[in-house]
Structure 1
Amino acid sequence: MENEKFEQIVQAQKDLNLLINEKKFGILCKIKKTDEMTPEFIDWLSPKYFDSLQHIYNKHHIQNPQIVGAVIRMSFLANEETKLKVKDLIQFELDKSLKAASKLVQLAEIRKFSLEDGKKCLEDMFSLITLSVMRNVDEPFVHEFKKDFVNRSLAAADKMKGLKASRDMEQFIIYENLLDKLEKNNILEGKSEKFEAHVKNKNSKNTVAIVIAVLLALFAILRLANTLSR
């Protein structure tokens, strides 16, 4: 009888039914948390949620990771036991992000890395699946991951803080993008003071670069005017 009631709760929401009974989902799908979703209901639903997530992950994590991210966004449908299984399922994605952060630290030590290499690191670091986990799964393993991730990210920023926007243009773009992504995704985990120091450093370098560019432009104009006056 109770199972029938739980099935009715699932079927009452089109997108919840789509996820649980058809193992399909989309980035625009929404599932509303209702009072009917009791702990007993979540315990009953959790294995079904995980089965759907596992199916969608295996099918879409390479070509359509945004769909996996959308399912992870619904992690309130999972109990504690299932969330640990989710950790095991997406551990590869978290490890990939950490390895990319370490790679960026290595590139920053070289200083003259290519824009393409830097962008690849940022893409792997801030993957759609990893971002969805950090935003939507409130578990100790996620907090530990975020702490490690931010430490590695700021270590890369430390290596790049001596870059100049006018001289090291490609590398400085990566420095800016790294800081922008850390701020946008709100994952600083108690490192805001150190982050703000980097933001001030970035802004001051940009100001200097703009002043230099303006002075060079004025110098060029003066030279041209002087030439034309002869």
Structure 2
Amino acid sequence: LWRALHLYLHSREDLQGLGLMAQMGISGEEEEIFALMEHHFQLWLLDGTATISAQYLATAGRTIRLEEMIKEGKKNRIQVYVDTGKGFCEEESFWVDTEPDKRGVTHVELLLPQGTVAVRLDPAEHTCLVKVIQLLGELGGTYPITYSHNGRELEDQGILYTTTDPQIVVTDLVAGTGRLYGELMIEELHPGTAYACMHLLNRVRNAERLYASAPFRFLKRLKKTAKFRKRRIKA
């Protein structure tokens, strides 16, 4: 424990004054004893000694920061909101742990509380690309469900989200629906990549609108007429 804290505090000068050693039950006198024990242990094991800096460099690559652990823990889970007449709220939400299959498809099966009129799926907590393969409700048999979202459609590629709060909202549930089944493909994107894709998509859409506009079509006809007259004059 002393060695782990000793190495950790070497990289975190901002925590030096918190007294972590004392909080872990290691007194100042014990620190001196442990340091001397470490010195003799290194002499026996290495026929020499290694500085704290050298020890840190040798082990830092295997250190996982708390932020990374939290991010990884949140990666394969979906937050589900159910609306039983009060709207979507944290009190009526829950988390579902997920694990994509070999094809990268995440399968979701939700048991809906009685009186559910709408469902919201938050597939991630970061910018991402989500492809909804299917959403089905179950009431006797299964039926397809339509949905809305706060992303941008990429045709067959899926839904592009540049927000860290991506949402898929189902509001057309048949009364009495007890289960919801979903198949999704969720791909995390770096924010820069997501925004670059959105910028490119906007340019393509603007070009399509311009090409289909009446002024553009008029200019094309005018250009064709000018070329035709020019050929007649040459003839």
If the length of structure 2 is used for normalisation, what is the TM-score?
0.25
Larger radius of gyration: 2
If the length of structure 1 is used for normalisation, what is the TM-score?
0.25
**Which has the larger strand fraction?**
2
